[in-house]
């Protein structure tokens, strides 16, 4: 099923991991606009529904809290799941399929955004957790904020690889992520924000 050569993977262009084109598309490829098409209306619907059931202050606070939760989830997944130590050939294959292919082909525009299976399952998990922990409108506001945070993360990630701005906070975020790719992949795991890299002291070597 797998068709990759560990010694010969090119770092440019688009390589192939599966002999089946269908499996390649389902598990490793996604157009950059897809998360916005799918999750954008869901985020807007959650925020709109909760806005009319909560005070503006509470709604804003919960949405901001949801975005903060997302930033921590993003950091945790990138650090402890996507870059988990590979202790066997099987674990190396799994890590390559889940995230490593993006490091092998960092310039492939279709290997930047999460696949529908990835962002769909994570969205369902977060919605379930928020629904169990909070009343309905509170859960929806928090979930909507988390999904806005997720979409912002996708935008920053795409810009980091294909943007041209070098100055300002966007330029700083781009340099932060590029150093993760090309300097030290064992540091700078925050993509949408370096907040948790600062908190957990994983900023790596000074620039």
- Number of Cβ within 10 Å of residue 182's Cβ equals 10
Structural domain spans, the chain: 34-199
Whole-structure pTM value:
0.89
pLDDT tens for each residue of 37-78: 999 999 999 999 999 999 999 999 999 999 999 999 999 999
pLDDT tens for each residue of 180-189: 998 888 899 9
Q: How many helices (H) and strands (E) does the chain have?
A: 9, 0
Q: How far apart, in Å, do the first and last CA atoms of the chain sit?
A: 41
Residues in the chain where the model's pLDDT stays below 50? 1-12
Rounded to whole angstroms, how far apart are CA atoms 163 and 168?
13
């Amino acid at each position: 099923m797998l068709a990759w050569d560990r010694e010969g993977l090119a770092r440019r262009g688009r390589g192939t991991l599966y002999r089946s084109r269908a499996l390649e598309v389902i598990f490793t490829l996604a157009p950059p606009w897809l998360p916005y098409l799918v999750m954008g209306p869901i985020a807007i619907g959650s925020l709109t529904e909760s806005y009319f059931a909560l005070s503006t202050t509470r709604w804003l606070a919960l949405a901001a809290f949801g975005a903060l939760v997302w930033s921590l989830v993003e950091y945790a997944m990138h650090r402890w799941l996507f870059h988990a130590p590979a202790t066997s050939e099987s674990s190396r294959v799994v890590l390559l399929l889940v995230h490593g292919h993006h490091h092998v082909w960092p310039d492939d525009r279709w290997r930047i955004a999460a696949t529908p299976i990835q962002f769909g399952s994570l969205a369902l998990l977060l919605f379930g957790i928020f629904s169990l922990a909070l009343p309905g409108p509170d859960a929806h506001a928090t979930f909507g904020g988390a999904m806005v945070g997720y979409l912002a993360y996708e935008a920053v990630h795409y810009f980091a690889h294909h943007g041209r701005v070098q100055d300002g906070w966007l330029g700083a975020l781009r340099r932060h992520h590029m150093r993760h790719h090309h300097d030290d992949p064992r540091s700078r795991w925050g993509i949408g924000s370096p907040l948790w890299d600062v908190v957990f002291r994983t900023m790596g070597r000074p620039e």
